[in-house]
């Protein structure tokens, strides 16, 4: 351990790029990335549940607008959505004078809005698929108990749908982490933003981008293992019997 | 399966070579790398043609030497790597001569020495550009410029620094009030902010040319280190243009107040 | 009609660039995907590991980071080689990793990893009995591949392929960040100089949706073709 830390200090002392200052940029970039991704996922998740229920509704006037929303947000690049929200909100006359501007002034909030709307659209479709795949037997059993539609949704359909949605949702989380890299195009100093700054300052593309790629790789693995663990816990009843 | 492997290998190898364009270098023309828009130094006019102080001076220099000039547009981020990879033979794009860059490239003599300056909207609350004066405000700079380096080191602890790909993006965020103050080469700030018809901007504080470790020795043409002979020819031509008045003519066209 | 402030022709050119990038990266990714699938199913320990390493690493890194690395770093890497050639042998060549090349290589490399998974699953889904039957007819490896494994594999791979293509199409927007004049970049330039982001961004969004819809229709037809003899496509 002693040798390892000595080796590391030596390595750091010998280079001009990974100084305390630049590591600080990567550090705060990591915090920004995690905040951005975590918040948009949480809000997106909260939005997606009612949207998914509405999307599976029998009534056309509920179903169609939600379908259009998910179709448009899943069919166009996130970069366009980000540009539209970041540059678009400015053109509402007098927005700078309202309280909203306090939020929208920071690039973080427009980016958060774009990411949230995007992930909510994907998550809605994931949940819809899971709700649709509810085994008939479970619904019939719930009806036989005399459950109302509401109660059935809460006690039977949603819990089982959440479990089924887990693997697909895990992919969506990783997708969001990777997509968040584009936040750097609207001046946000996330992980990628930090790497671009350090590249521009030292003309060292390998150091700047390989380092940040390694951090993303670690984050991806962390998410992967978290979801694998969750699947093991929550989907245990679906595992094939051991021979 | 082996057949498939060989076949796809060949296909992949072919696709790679086909997409990486290989071309030999031409001695008769000098290609300049330039990043646009950076008004008034280099930008596109209404018809989409490249123009600006650098472009006109560069063309005049080539004419003096008796060679052809070609301009290659390249984003600022990749402009030095592009020179080293012989995408073009020189950079004439408002590049300040400083020690960091001297390690990478060979500079001509400086051909102009414009100062940097701070720009604010006329109704701004900012009244001085000291560290306390900018505490809590958002400074806009172009990523990877010397203004970026200076602002990052001097104000990084007290102010937010927004880094933009182009000067145009920065202007847009000044208009929408996302950035409170811009730090730019003076001629660029003048052309993009002060001469802006819809919004009123002003310069605050002094023109800045010191310390030299950040602000260097003016703008130079950058060459590959091994091209010393070429750089020398441009230095001589620059000397001639300064003597015969051509330089002043171009200068007045872009910088007369 | 919407007023494009004279940006119409440039936007059309940009749309063409977008389609070019998308199609070329699709070709590259299919080639890499077939290679990866072969490597992962191969009996060689080394090839198997190599395939796994490639798909794992590529799928763990954001596309934009990979693109920036290839665009900026790739050029420097190539420079080292060309400089060496120049100083050693006085050979002066110039290999240009421009925005277009970097974009296509990155997107192809990323989706090659996803295609690899799609193809592997699809090859494994072809019943072994069919291959044995083909061998019994005296077909050699190549014929078995051409007449039995490939067409059958395609039936299973098409849904995944179509899905990958849709994601790939949207990923092309990232080339605008490294400076290629695709339709997103031109739309963003136009919306900045005219101060009308809604006009241009919504238009480009609509073009993406249109391309996606057309290709959805195309894939449905292909699926029908490869499912001949299987009744309903599954």
ipTM (interface predicted TM): 0.87
Chains that touch B (3 or more CB pairs under 8 A): A, C
Residues of B in contact with A106 (CB under 8 A): 178
Distance CA C39, CA C43 (A): 8
Q: Does C93 touch chain B (CB under 8 A)?
A: yes
Judge if B123 and B105 occupy the same domain: no
Per-residue tokens: B228: 């010393």
Instruction: State whether residue C41 sits within 8 Å of chain A by CB.
Output: no
Residue B180 near chain A (CB below 8 Å): no
Whether residues B193 and B160 share a domain: the answer is yes
pLDDT digits (tens, 9 = 90+) for A134-148: 888 988 999 999 998
pLDDT band (50, 70, 90) for residue C88: confident
Q: Is residue A1 part of a domain?
A: no
Mean per-residue pLDDT for B165-176?
A: 88
Which pair of tokens denotes residue B171?
Answer: 């202007």
Show the domain range for B134. 116-215
DSSP structure string for B124-172:
-S----STTTTTT-EEEEETTSHHHHHHHHHHTTTSEEEEESSHHHHHH
In a domain, B105, yes or no: yes
Distance from CA of C232 to the nearest CA of B (A): 30
* Nearest by CB: C170 against A76, A91, A181: A76
- φ, ψ for residue B33 (rounded to 5)? -85, 135
Give the mean pLDDT of chain C. Answer: 88
Take residue B146 and report the two structure tokens written for it: 């010397």
- Say what the pLDDT of residue B180 is: 94
pLDDT score for A15: 67
How many pairs of residues across A and C have Cβ atoms under 8 Å apart? 110
Helices A191-202, B146-155: inter-axial angle, 10-degree rounding: 120
Q: What is the pLDDT of residues B108-163, one digit of tens each?
A: 999 998 889 999 999 888 888 888 899 999 999 999 888 999 999 999 889 999 99
Alpha helix segments (H runs only) across chain B: 2-19, 53-65, 79-84, 99-102, 146-155, 167-175, 186-189, 212-215, 228-244, 246-255
Question: What percent of chain B is modeled with pLDDT above 70?
Answer: 88
> SS3 of A32, please?
helix
B82 interfacial to chain A (CB closer than 8 Å): no
Distance linking the first and last C-alpha atoms of chain B: 74
Which stretch of DSSP H or E encloses residue C93? strand C93-96
Query: Are residues B138 and B191 both part of a single domain?
Result: yes
Domain total of chain A:
1
Domain match, B124 and B195 both: yes
3-state secondary structure of B85: coil
pLDDT in tens, B183-233: 999 988 988 898 877 888 999 988 888 888 888 888 999 999 888 999 999
My answer on whether B42 and B87 are in the same domain is yes
Could A185 and B165 be called an inter-chain contact, meaning their C-beta atoms sit closer than 8 Å? yes
Phi, psi at B201, each rounded to 5°: -125, 160
CA distance B101 to B144: 12
Q: What is the pLDDT of residue A129?
A: 92
pLDDT at B256: 66
Q: CB distance A87–C59 less than 8 Å? A: no
Same domain, B172 and B242: no
C214 in contact with chain A, both atoms CB, cutoff 8 A: no
Chain C neighbours among B 125-144 (CB < 8 Å)? none
pLDDT value at position B226?
A: 85
CATH code of B102's domain = 3.40.190.10
pLDDT tens for residues C194-216? 888 888 999 999 999 999 999 99
Note whether B236 contacts A: Cβ–Cβ < 8 A: no
Whether pTM > 0.90 for this model: the answer is no
For range C43-50, the mean pLDDT? 91
**Distance in angstroms (rounded) separating the CA atoms of residues B248 and C221:** 68
Cβ-Cβ contacts under 8 Å, C173 against chain A: 77-80
Across the interface, whether the CB atoms of A91 and C66 are under 8 A apart is answered: no
Instruction: Give the neighbours of chain C: at least 3 Cβ pairs within 8 Å.
Output: A, B
For chain C, domains (ranges, CATH) are 19-183 (1.10.3720.10)
Quick one: pLDDT band at residue C18, thresholds 50, 70, 90?
very high
Q: Which of B63, B71, B76 is nearest to B89 (CA)?
A: B71
Helices C197-226 & A78-88, crossing angle to 10 degrees?
Answer: 170
Answer whether B162 sits within 8 Å of A187, measured CB to CB: yes
| CA distances in angstroms from B105 to A88, B65, B227, listed in the order given | 41, 22, 10
The CATH number assigned to the domain holding A46 equals: 1.10.3720.10
Q: What is residue B26's predicted lDDT score, i.e. its pLDDT? A: 44
User: Is the pLDDT at B21 greater than 70, yes or no?
Assistant: no
- Write down the pLDDT at residue B22: 38
Which residues fall within 8 angstroms of residue C43, CB to CB, at 6 or more apart? none
How close does chain B come to A13, measured CA to CA in Å? 19
Q: Hey, which residues 130-159 in chain C have their CB within 8 Å of chain B?
A: 141-142, 145
Domain match, B64 and B89 both: yes
In a domain, A212, yes or no: yes
Q: Is residue A5 part of a domain?
A: no
pLDDT, position A76: 94
Q: Is the pLDDT of residue A40 over 90?
A: yes
Q: What is the mean pLDDT of residues B48-53?
A: 89
The answer to whether residue A3 sits within a structural domain is: no
* Shared domain check, B188 and B160: yes
Asked if residue A10 belongs to a domain, the reply is no
Do B74 and B154 belong to one domain?
A: no
pLDDT at position B127 is: 86
Q: Do A107 and B162 touch (CB under 8 A)?
A: yes
Residue A11 lies in a domain: no
Residue A171 domain boundaries: 23-235
Name residues 58-97 of chain A within 8 A of C (Cβ). Answer: 71-72, 75-80, 83-84, 87-88, 91
Any chain C CB within 8 A of the CB of B207? no
- Asked whether the beta carbons of residue C69 and residue A205 sit closer than 8 angstroms, the reply is yes
**Mutate: best of C52, C53, C56, C60, partner A, most A CBs <10 A:** C60
B177 neighbourhood in chain A, CB within 8 Å: 96, 101, 105
| A218 confidence band (pLDDT: 50, 70, 90) | very high
Split into its structural domains, chain B has a count of 2
Q: In the predicted model, what is the mean pLDDT of residues A111-118?
A: 96
Q: Which residues contact A87 (CB under 8 A, 6 or more apart)?
A: B172, C191, C192, C197, C201
Q: Is residue B106 domain-shared with residue B229, that is, in the same domain?
A: yes
Assigned token pair, B56: 């006109």
| B211 and B123 assigned to the same domain | yes
Q: Which residues of C touch A88 (CB under 8 A)?
A: 197-198, 201
For chain C, percent of residues with pLDDT exceeding 90 = 51
Q: Does residue C148 contact residue C131 with C-beta atoms inside 8 Å?
A: yes
Higher pLDDT: A241 or B132? It is: B132
Q: If you average pLDDT over residues B56-79, what whole number do you get?
A: 90
**How far apart are the C-alpha atoms of A110 and B161, rounded to whole Å?**
18
Asked if pLDDT for residue B15 goes beyond 70, the answer is no
Give the neighbor-by-neighbor strand order of the sheet with B181-185. B160-164, B138-142, B181-185, B116-121, B201-208
Task: For an interface test with A, give the residue of C18, C55, C57, C65 to mutate (most A CBs within 10 A).
Answer: C65
Contact C98 B87 (CB under 8 A): yes
Whether the pLDDT of residue B6 is over 70: the answer is: no
């Amino acid at each position: 351990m002693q040798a390892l830390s000595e080796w590391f200090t030596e390595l750091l002392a010998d280079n001009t790029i990974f100084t305390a200052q630049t590591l600080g940029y990567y550090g705060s970039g990591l915090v920004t990335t995690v905040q951005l991704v975590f918040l948009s996922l949480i809000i997106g998740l909260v939005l997606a549940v009612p949207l998914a229920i509405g999307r599976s509704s029998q009534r056309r006037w509920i179903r169609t607008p939600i379908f259009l929303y998910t179709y448009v947000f899943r069919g166009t690049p996130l970069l366009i959505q980000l540009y539209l929200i970041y540059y678009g909100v400015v053109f509402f006359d007098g927005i700078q004078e309202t309280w909203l501007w306090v939020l929208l002034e920071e690039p973080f909030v427009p980016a958060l809005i774009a990411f949230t709307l995007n992930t909510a659209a994907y998550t809605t479709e994931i949940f819809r698929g899971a709700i649709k795949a509810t085994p008939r037997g479970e619904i019939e059993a719930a009806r036989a108990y005399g459950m109302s539609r509401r109660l059935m949704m809460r006690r039977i359909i949603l819990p089982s749908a959440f479990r089924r949605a887990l693997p697909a949702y895990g992919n969506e989380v990783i997708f969001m982490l990777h997509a968040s890299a584009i936040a750097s195009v609207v001046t946000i100093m996330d992980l990628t933003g930090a790497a671009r700054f350090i590249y521009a300052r030292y003309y060292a593309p390998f150091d700047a981008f390989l380092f940040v790629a390694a951090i993303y790789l670690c984050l991806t693995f962390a998410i992967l293992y978290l979801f694998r663990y969750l699947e093991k816990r929550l989907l245990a009843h679906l595992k094939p019997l051991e021979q | 399966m082996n057949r498939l492997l060989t076949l796809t290998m060949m296909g992949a190898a072919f696709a790679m070579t086909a997409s990486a364009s290989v071309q030999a270098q031409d001695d008769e023309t000098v290609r300049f790398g330039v990043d646009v828009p950076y008004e008034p130094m280099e930008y596109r006019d209404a018809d989409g043609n490249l123009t600006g102080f650098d472009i006109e001076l560069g063309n005049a220099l080539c004419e003096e030497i008796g060679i052809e000039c070609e301009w290659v547009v390249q984003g600022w981020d990749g402009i030095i790597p592009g020179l080293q990879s012989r995408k073009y033979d020189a950079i004439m794009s408002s590049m300040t001569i400083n020690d960091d860059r001297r390690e990478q490239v060979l500079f001509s003599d400086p051909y102009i020495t414009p100062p940097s300056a701070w720009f604010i909207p006329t109704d701004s609350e900012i009244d001085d550009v000291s560290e306390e004066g900018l505490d809590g405000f958002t400074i806009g700079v172009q990523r990877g410029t010397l203004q970026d380096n200076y602002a990052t080191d001097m104000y990084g602890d007290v102010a937010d620094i927004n880094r933009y790909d182009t000067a145009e993006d920065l202007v847009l965020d000044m208009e929408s009030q996302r950035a409170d103050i811009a730090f730019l080469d003076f001629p660029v700030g003048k052309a993009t902010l002060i001469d802006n018809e819809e919004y009123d901007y002003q310069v605050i504080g002094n023109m800045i040319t010191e310390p030299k470790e950040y602000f260097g020795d003016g703008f130079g043409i950058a060459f590959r280190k091994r091209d010393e002979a070429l750089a020398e020819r441009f230095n001589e031509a620059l000397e001639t243009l300064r003597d015969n008045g051509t330089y002043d003519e171009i200068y007045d066209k872009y910088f007369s107040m | 009609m919407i007023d494009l402030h004279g940006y119409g022709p440039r936007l059309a050119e940009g749309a063409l660039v977008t389609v070019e990038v998308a199609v070329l990266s699709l070709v590259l990714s299919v080639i890499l995907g077939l290679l990866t699938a072969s490597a992962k199913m191969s009996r060689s320990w080394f090839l198997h590991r190599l395939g796994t390493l490639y798909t794992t690493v590529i799928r763990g890194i954001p596309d934009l980071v990979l693109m920036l690395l290839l665009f900026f770093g790739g050029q420097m890497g190539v420079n080292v080689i060309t400089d060496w050639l120049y100083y050693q042998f006085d050979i002066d060549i110039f290999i240009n990793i421009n925005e277009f090349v970097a974009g296509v290589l990155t997107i192809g490399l990323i989706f090659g990893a996803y295609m690899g998974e799609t193809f592997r699953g699809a090859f494994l889904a072809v019943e072994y009995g069919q291959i044995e039957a083909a061998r019994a007819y005296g077909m050699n490896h190549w014929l078995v591949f051409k007449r039995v494994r490939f067409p059958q594999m395609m039936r299973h791979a098409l849904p995944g392929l179509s899905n990958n293509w849709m994601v790939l199409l949207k990923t092309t927007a990232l080339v605008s960040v490294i400076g290629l004049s695709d339709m997103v970049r031109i739309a963003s330039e136009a919306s900045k100089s005219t101060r009308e982001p809604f006009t241009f961004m919504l238009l480009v969004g609509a073009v993406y949706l249109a391309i996606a819809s057309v290709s959805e229709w195309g894939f449905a037809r292909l699926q029908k073709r490869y499912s001949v003899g299987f009744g309903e496509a599954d």
